[in-house]
Amino acid sequence: MTPVPPGRPRAARPARVTLNNRLLNACDGPQGSTPLHEEVDRNLQHLWSYGNNRDGKTPGRRPDWILIRPPFLMQQPDLEDSPTLPRLVPARGLTLRLQLLMLFDAQCRFGPNEPVQLNRTFEDVETNAPIRSWQKVVLADTTSDYRDATALRGRQIKDALRTLYKEHLVSIGPDKKRPNRRDLDRITLLSEASTPVTRPRYTVPTTGVYVSRHFFTSSWVFALTNTEIATFLALSSRRAYYPGPHSASGVFVLQKHRGQFGLKDNTWRSARNLHFYGLVNRAGDPHRDTLNGRITDFGARWKKHQVMPTHFTIVDATLEQPAVPTINRVLNHPSLGDQFRMWLG
Is residue 293 within 8 A of residue 282, CB to CB? The reply is no
Tens digit of pLDDT for each residue in 56-79? Answer: 789 999 999 999 999 999 988 777
For the chain, the structural domain boundaries read: 16-212, 225-344
Pairing of strands 280-283, 311-314: antiparallel
Mean pLDDT of 84-94: 93
CA distance 103 to 89: 17
Residue 126 is predicted with a pLDDT of: 55
Contact call for residues 251 and 309 (beta carbons, < 8 A): no
Residue 61 CB coordination number (10 Å):
16
| pLDDT at residue 284 in the model | 59
- pLDDT tens-digit profile of 193-240? 998 889 999 999 999 999 999 999 999 999 999 999 999 999 999 999
Region 2-20: mean pLDDT is: 64
Which DSSP letter does residue 299 get?
H
Over 280-291, what HEC string results?
Answer: EEEECCCCECCC
The DSSP output letter for 191 is P
Q: Which of 128-132, 250-254, 308-312 comes out lowest in average pLDDT?
A: 128-132
Q: Give me the percent of the chain exceeding a pLDDT of 70.
A: 85
Q: pLDDT category, 125, cuts 50, 70, 90?
A: low
Residue 121 has pLDDT above 80, yes or no: yes
Provide CB contacts within 8 A for 258, sequence distance 6+. Answer: 268
Contacts 24+ apart (CB under 8 A), 59-63: 60/108, 60/109, 61/107, 61/108, 61/109, 61/110, 61/111, 62/108, 63/107, 63/108, 63/213
List the one residue out of 301, 281, 297 whose CA is nearest residue 289: 297
CB-based burial of residue 30 (10 Å sphere; 0-12 exposed, 13-18 middle, 19+ buried)? exposed
**Measured distance CA(340)–CA(345) in Å, rounded:** 9
pLDDT, position 147: 61
Distance between CA atoms of residues 108 and 249, nearest Å: 32
